[in-house]
Structure 1
Amino acid sequence: MIEEEIEMRLHVEVQGNGSPIVMIHSGGVDSRVWRYISPDLAQSFQVITFDGRGTGRSPAPQQPFSLVEDLRTLLEQLQLDRVTLVGHSMGGQVATDFTLTYPSMVERLVVIAPSLTGYTFSPEFAAYMASVNAAAPDISKLTELSLAGPIYRATMASPHRDFLHEMHMNYMTRVFTEWKSFDVQWPEPPAIERLEEIAARTLFMQGTIDWPDMHNIAEHFSRVPAIQFSVIEGADHMLILTHAQQLADHIRHFVKGELDDATNPGRK
């Protein structure tokens, strides 16, 4: 495994050889969240994981920034012209917007319980976020309330509980002690208006324990011309921890083209 700091000083790790797969983590954690998936995929592919701005070992944002442009810069620094993107939650949002902005650079797209630019979340989700944010700047309370959300029910009852709590605490601490800007800039128009423009073959994965919003987002993604859906029974929003083997298997088969005719495109 190669570890390096690219020019913009995002922490990057590269494992394996073969077709490149770039893994984009969600908010609230860092690239360690891929620890159960990336070594498996690295047996067949070159796997790139990185800490987004203000997470893990990457520097905190000091001014408005674009996660999409951060990704483009990273790929240029690593001299990668065309990749498969795998994004979880907010990372799925980044992957989707990147695919729409730089379509020639994306071979395949995998989104795992993604968020979506332009989507208006339900009052239920908004109330949950408001209750979490109201605890600021008490980092312990913020972490406790956040992980008490129903979408973490399976993970917090699993052996991954302490690991998720550690990453969450680290993230919250950095946000409230190091971040100078919270202004994340996204491409316009928002992705929700352009999903039918995605040309890359796409795989959408989600668990059955998540906000109803995830079902609605999946319905929007059904407009992607070449898309397949996979639902993992009993998995929550952090299925990349609790169901890593299943996800790795799905991603491997998908990238190799072995799922292209295995299921019918469209919403399931």
Structure 2
Amino acid sequence: MEFGLKLKEGDKMTAGYADFGDGKLYYEIEGNGETLVLIHAGFVDSRMWDEQWKAFTQHYRVLRFDMLGFGKSDPVTGPVSRRQDLYRLLQELGIEHARILGCSLGGETAIDFTLEHPELVRSLIVVSAAPGGFEMRGEPPALLLEMLQALEQGDLARVSDLQIRLWVDGSFRQPEQVDSRVRQRATEMNRIPVENGTWAIDDANPLSPLAPPAAGRLGDISIPVLVMAGALDNPEILRAADLLANEIEGAEKVIIPDTAHLPNMEKPAEFNRIVLGFLSRL
């Protein structure tokens, strides 16, 4: 593995690339103290944490990165293991243990990583995520079916629009009811994985999924856990939050009102207060 590190002038942030051989992964680190790892959702990139960065780096050494196929990282050329990429990154950066916060796909990755490497994880925060093996109930959202159809037709602009409708707006709002700045920022990030074909190439068929899947192993997690979700997210995400909170002994659950899949972007001050409060009690 090769690294290209650079220290940005005027601040304390170190940014670089990790080359795993199957693509270069972009990451940033800033702050001192215990390491807090931020893992982004599967339709945006590490910029989703911009409103958390200053608040969290005042208390922790914070690491965020773009998964392969997202942001500044290389596109994926085939299925990858998200949890294995996280493991390789932590090992090469010499991080022996961390507190991990993941949203959506990032939350699923964080759960899998915790089950596979419990000795490396001090605490876990899962946002808007379902564990691997979680069986969705009912009919899939109509917008999801439209998105898959647009993907088959190669209508990438429509794919991106529908992904924003699905996840940023959520199941119970129209676009005009959502902060336009949040939608615009998410759209800018979303265009990259859509153009890269990330979901179709990798995340619809991930490499070496955790076996047995996490949904049946949640009771094995014995570290402090905080489960978060937005009240306006898809009801199945809220049901997954209930499962996580019920199956993991001692887990705390917080539902943030008037937000959907990205509560940290919609209500950053409230989100930051909840996360830092949870971490400060550990």
Alpha-carbon separation, structure 2, partners of 1:252 and 1:112 = 14
Q: TM-score, normalised by structure 2?
A: 0.86
Contact 2:18 2:26 in 1 (8 A): yes
Q: How much has 1:126 moved relative to structure 2?
A: 5.2
Alpha-carbon separation, structure 1, partners of 2:202 and 2:241 = 31
Q: How much has 1:63 moved relative to structure 2?
A: 2.9
What is the match of residue 217 of structure 2?
194
| Secondary structure of 1:204 counterpart | strand
Is 1:151 equivalent to 2:170 in the alignment? yes
2:31 corresponds, among 13, 16, 23, to 16
Q: Residues 181 and 94 of structure 1: is their aligned pair in 2 closer, same or farther, counting only changes over 3 Å?
A: closer
Alpha-carbon separation, structure 2, partners of 1:225 and 1:93 = 18
2:129 corresponds, among 105, 114, 117, to 114
Contact 1:17 1:44 in 2 (8 A): yes
Alpha-carbon separation, structure 1, partners of 2:106 and 2:197 = 17
Q: How much has 1:181 moved relative to structure 2?
A: 4.8
Q: Residues 124 and 60 of structure 1: is their aligned pair in 2 closer, same or farther, counting only changes over 3 Å?
A: same
Q: Residues 17 and 160 of structure 1: is their aligned pair in 2 closer, same or farther, counting only changes over 3 Å?
A: same
What is the match of residue 264 of structure 1?
none
Is 1:128 equivalent to 2:143 in the alignment? yes
Contact 1:20 1:84 in 2 (8 A): yes
1:243 corresponds, among 254, 267, 273, to 267
RMSD: 2.0
- For residue 105 of structure 2, what is the amino acid of its counterpart? M
Q: Residues 42 and 154 of structure 1: is their aligned pair in 2 closer, same or farther, counting only changes over 3 Å?
A: farther
Contact 1:10 1:51 in 2 (8 A): yes
Alpha-carbon separation, structure 2, partners of 1:205 and 1:135 = 31
What is the match of residue 6 of structure 1?
18
Q: Residues 135 and 172 of structure 1: is their aligned pair in 2 closer, same or farther, counting only changes over 3 Å?
A: same
- For residue 149 of structure 2, what is the amino acid of its counterpart? A
Alpha-carbon separation, structure 2, partners of 1:154 and 1:107 = 39
Q: How much has 1:253 moved relative to structure 2?
A: 1.7
What is the match of residue 90 of structure 1?
105
Alpha-carbon separation, structure 1, partners of 2:259 and 2:60 = 26
Q: Residues 94 and 6 of structure 1: is their aligned pair in 2 closer, same or farther, counting only changes over 3 Å?
A: same
| Secondary structure of 1:145 counterpart | helix
- For residue 145 of structure 1, what is the amino acid of its counterpart? L
CA deviation string 1:40-79 (max 9, x = no partner)? 1001111100000100011122233110100000100111
What is the match of residue 248 of structure 2?
224
Structure 1: any 5+ residue segments left out of the alignment?
A: 261-268
What is the match of residue 169 of structure 1?
191
Alpha-carbon separation, structure 2, partners of 1:207 and 1:129 = 19
Contact 2:164 2:183 in 1 (8 A): no
What is the match of residue 280 of structure 2?
256
Is 1:142 equivalent to 2:181 in the alignment? no
| Secondary structure of 2:258 counterpart | coil
Q: How much has 1:123 moved relative to structure 2?
A: 3.5
Alpha-carbon separation, structure 1, partners of 2:272 and 2:45 = 18
Structure 2: any 5+ residue segments left out of the alignment?
A: 1-12
Alpha-carbon separation, structure 1, partners of 2:144 and 2:50 = 27
Q: Which shows bigger deviation, 110-119 or 156-165?
A: 156-165
| Secondary structure of 2:132 counterpart | coil
Alpha-carbon separation, structure 1, partners of 2:127 and 2:34 = 20
| Secondary structure of 2:139 counterpart | helix
Alpha-carbon separation, structure 1, partners of 2:202 and 2:38 = 24
| Secondary structure of 2:211 counterpart | coil
